[in-house]
Amino acid sequence: MPNSCRLPKLICLKKIEAWEAEKTAADMEEYSWEDSLSQKNMLDTLLRMKVAGEGEDAEVRKQLLEREDVQDYKDSVVRLKNEGASESSMLQYKEAVRKVLNV
């Protein structure tokens, strides 16, 4: 019987229950920035602001994601989503937004 799993073999060996396959991003135990709506929206905003250099779309997006201010924003969003709203996490988020949008 051929292996229909396209993931690495060790991952495919884990049995997945039916309900686990139905999990959405909102159901995840820990927030993941990669390919999230937050990441997409930040990239779209920065591209509209034309803060990126010239080049292929994928390369420009990679350059944007590597910027220190975008990394700070990412960290603040991940903290806020995983730990919840606190005075400290909201302040970190506020400062990250101001920094990335230059306001």
Residue 72 reports pLDDT greater than 80 = yes
80 with 90: CB under 8 angstroms? yes
Name the average pLDDT for the chain: 81
Q: Which range of residues forms the domain containing residue 50?
A: 30-101
| Confidence (pTM) | 0.66
Look at residue 57 and tell me if it is in a domain.
yes
- Split into its structural domains, the chain has a count of 1
Contacts of 53 (CB under 8 A, 6+ apart): 60, 63
Read off the pLDDT band of 18 (50, 70, 90): confident
Look at residue 17 and tell me if it is in a domain.
no
